[in-house]
Amino acid sequence: MDPDNEVDYDMSPYLIRYKSGRVHHLMGTGRVDAGTDAATGVTSRDVVIDVGTGLAARLHIPSDVLGTSTKLPVLVYFHGGAFAVNSAFSTQYFRFLNALVSAARAVAVSVDFRLAPEHPLPAAYDDAWAALGWAVATASCARASSEQEPWAWLAEHGDPARLFVAGDSTGGNIAHNVAMRAGRRSGLPGGERIEGMVLLHPYFCGKELVAPSEGAEPRRRRSLETEERWWAFVCAERYGIDHPFINPVAMPATEWVSLGCRRAMVTVAELDRMRDRGRRYVEALRASTWAGDEAVLYEDQGERHVFFLSSSDDSGKTKQMIAAIASFMA
């Protein structure tokens, strides 16, 4: 059989890997062009951060700020997608980041990091760290030589003293791990510190099932086996399912001191099987040696995992959650 067509790993609906190494991504491959969004009044443009790795980002900024001397908080955002699908350039993230930037009055750096399995973890973590350092260094520039420079908006309007990291699902996992790295390395370029971290329905896992959302019945156990298999796949079996990358609540309370942000916000959804891990994360943080000022838990009733990325949310819950994030950032 042709190894280019013989299946090695089938994780539909995300992707299929063939024995030749070829990967067929089944979702999250669409792309929408940057530009001005009439609905939110936010303008975006794309920038390459590292030509060697292909690390790129999409910058989002309120259009009315352009041409002024206004300084805004800097939000570095990491998209979800099981570490293997989606991008910062997809329709759903274009729509969501525009709405968030409009409400929070910030300049956002939506990071397009390398995906597994072609680039297994820690590639995404390394890209996220590089993007965060780039954002801080760029926002710390005195000014750009020209507004036409792709990164000029960040230099002209970003305030590195008001720095936030955020992400949804596995992007929330990435945001947490970036904040941990920032603390362990005693800060960021120029001595800047992450003011706040926002984890939206963060993706964490572990051997011990967390009740009641994960429960202990057989089907939940099978779900854990699937999660273990997926985690081993995206990290090329480098880390176990209880490694702090994927199971931070397994860390001793003393290790939370390394979380390098001043404030934290975690959102969970009532119908999300990972909701109790998000709650336990906040509990562990509050009970730890973390030196931060505030750990906020925000709950969406009657909603499922990352519902806010759907264009069909007519309940107003997405607007409410975005308003809560904007309030936290303010």
- Could you state, in order of their start, the residue ranges of all structural domains in the chain? 31-329
Q: How many C-beta atoms lie closer than 10 Å to residue 125's C-beta? A: 20
Residues known to be catalytic:
169, 272, 305
| Per-residue confidence (pLDDT) for residue 294, from 0 to 100 | 96
For residue 178, give the nearest of 101, 255, 75, 78 by alpha carbon: 78
- Own/partner contacts of 182-188, CB < 8 Å, gap of 24 or more, are 182/132, 182/260, 182/261, 183/257, 183/258, 183/259, 183/260, 183/261, 184/258, 184/260, 185/260, 187/260, 188/132, 188/133, 188/136, 188/163
**Residue 253: pLDDT above 80?**
yes
What value does the mean pLDDT take over residues 258-276? Answer: 96
Lowest mean pLDDT among 36-50, 112-126, 212-226: 212-226
For the chain, give the mean pLDDT: 92
- Residue 192's pLDDT band (cuts 50, 70, 90): confident
> 74 forms bridges with which residues in the sheet?
107, 163
| Per-residue confidence (pLDDT) for residue 82, from 0 to 100 | 94
Cα 83–chain centre separation: 10
What are the tens digits of pLDDT across the range 236-246?
999 999 999 99
Pairing of strands 55-62, 72-78: unpaired
- Residue 313's pLDDT band (cuts 50, 70, 90): low
Tokens coding 101: 């930037």
The residue behind tokens 């943080």 is 285
Cα 168 from Cα 124, distance rounded (Å): 14
For residue 80, give the nearest of 176, 201, 196, 165 by alpha carbon: 201
State phi, psi for 84 to the nearest 5 degrees: -130, -15
Cα 133 from Cα 144, distance rounded (Å): 17
Secondary structure (DSSP) of 150-207: TTHHHHHHEEEEEEEEEEETHHHHHHHHHHHHHHHTTS-GGG--EEEEEEES-----S
- Residue 193's pLDDT band (cuts 50, 70, 90): very high
Tokens coding 154: 């960040």
**Residue 142: pLDDT above 70?**
no
Q: Which CATH number fits domain 31-329: 3.40.50.1820, 3.40.50.2300, 3.90.245.10, 3.40.640.10?
A: 3.40.50.1820
Q: Which of 77 and 223 is assigned the larger pLDDT?
A: 77
Residues 6+ apart with CB under 8 A from 320: none
- Residue 73's pLDDT band (cuts 50, 70, 90): very high
For residue 254, give the nearest of 290, 279, 281 by alpha carbon: 290
